[in-house]
Amino acid sequence: MKRLIAIDLSRRLSPRVPKLATEILVAASVTASLVLGRALLSPLLADGVPFAFTFLAVVLSTLLAGWRSGALSLLVGELLVWYFVLPPRGSFILADPAMLWWLLIIGGTEALIVAALGIYQSEMRRGQMERTRRINFLGHALREMDHRTRNNFQIVTSLLQLQSNRSQSGEVKAALREASERLQAVSAVYAALAPSSHNLAAVRLHDQLDEICGQIRRGILPEGIALTTELEPILVPHETGIAVGIIVNELVTNAAKHAFPDGRGSIVVRAVRSPDGARIEVADDGRGMPRGAERKGGLGTRLIAAFVQRVRGRSEVRASDSGTTFVITVPLPA
């Protein structure tokens, strides 16, 4: 019913067809159609229910083209019933003067229907305009917050890089550079969230991971290393999307830096649904991890473990001489 009330052809066609022309055309078409229906049923109805179809014509005209179309349909319908249905037919003379009161009562009732529908349509339009205004305002506010957040990421990253360049200690330089790279990873995940968001609560994980991998290809990935994706459509909660994005960024970046001493190889990022939730794999065909390296607990390893624990997931490492595969499984909402 709400969709029908919100049609208003006169407004929708107004750029191409004058509004008044649409209102007249709708009133004429609807009234003519129902008058024809009344004429076809006249052998069955005789003089009974003379105004039944005029009520329907008034309601449809108002719903389709607004209150003025409904008022026009009311006027035309009343005159047609008066002329063609009420005795004596073919004349505006009433055989029974009391019928004039019936005409006025029916007309007044139909006018109330037109007024009620017109007010309701007006309120609906006002509500829609207010909702659109609020959505536009919120969209503008979110874009402004997004812009400022990205600027803040960039400022902090630049400060870390500047301090790294000024430091005389090689260990401090390396630590600051590593912190800067991880902050850039968080920034990349944040940037990928906006186009991959299904709504404010959910993220299209496949789109997000594809965007992150694209940024890595354009950024740090050497020419001899191929990065491909095999991603199923998966929706995950917003927090899970952030955690998985940071984990995948960390794993792919580490593989690109350390798994290929000769500068050649391939990395594959997969995301599939499994009975346990979303299963994410980052596999490379590099030199493999040294024995026991996964248990040394470097910063990257601790970072990954922290984010896996944060989303109540599980992680697994499969290392061999022909490469390394990290498997992360995170639960999905029921």
Q: Give me the mean pLDDT over the 193-199 stretch.
A: 61
What is the per-residue pLDDT for 284? 93
What is the per-residue pLDDT for 269? 95
Q: Give me the mean pLDDT over the 251-262 stretch.
A: 87
What is the per-residue pLDDT for 142? 67
The predicted-structure confidence for 62-90, as pLDDT tens digits, reads as follows 888 888 888 898 888 888 777 777 778 77
Mean per-residue pLDDT of the chain: 80
- DSSP letters, 227-259, are EEEEE---EEEHHHHHHHHHHHHHHHHHHHHHS
What is the per-residue pLDDT for 163? 80
What whole-number distance in Å separates Cα of residue 326 and Cα of residue 259? 13
More confident residue, 142 or 168: 168
Q: Give me the mean pLDDT over the 235-246 stretch.
A: 87
Tell whether the model's pLDDT for residue 43 goes beyond 70: no
Residue with tokens 């990065």: 227
> Residue 157's closest CA among 175, 176, 144?
176
The predicted-structure confidence for 101-117, as pLDDT tens digits, reads as follows 888 888 888 899 899 98
What is the per-residue pLDDT for 120? 87
Contacts 24+ apart (CB under 8 A), 46-49: 47/85, 47/86, 47/87
Tell whether the model's pLDDT for residue 132 goes beyond 60: yes
Which phi and psi (to 5°) does residue 298 adopt?
-70, 175
Yes or no: say if 286 and 324 are a contact pair by the CB < 8 Å rule.
Answer: yes
pTM: 0.55
What whole-number distance in Å separates Cα of residue 205 and Cα of residue 273? 11
Tell whether the model's pLDDT for residue 291 goes beyond 90: no
What is the per-residue pLDDT for 202? 79
Domains of the chain: residue spans and CATH:
2-133 (no CATH), 199-330 (3.30.565.10)
For residue 174, give the H/E element and its range: helix 170-196
> Residue 246's closest CA among 194, 296, 190?
190
User: Tell me, what DSSP letter sits at residue 197?
Assistant: B
Yes or no: say if 231 and 206 are a contact pair by the CB < 8 Å rule.
Answer: yes
What is the per-residue pLDDT for 296? 53
Tell whether the model's pLDDT for residue 49 goes beyond 70: no
Percentage of the chain surpassing pLDDT 90? 12
Q: What share of the chain is helix, strand, coil (3-state, %, to 5)?
A: 65, 15, 20
What whole-number distance in Å separates Cα of residue 35 and Cα of residue 49? 13
Reported confidence tier of residue 178, pLDDT bands at 50, 70, 90:
confident
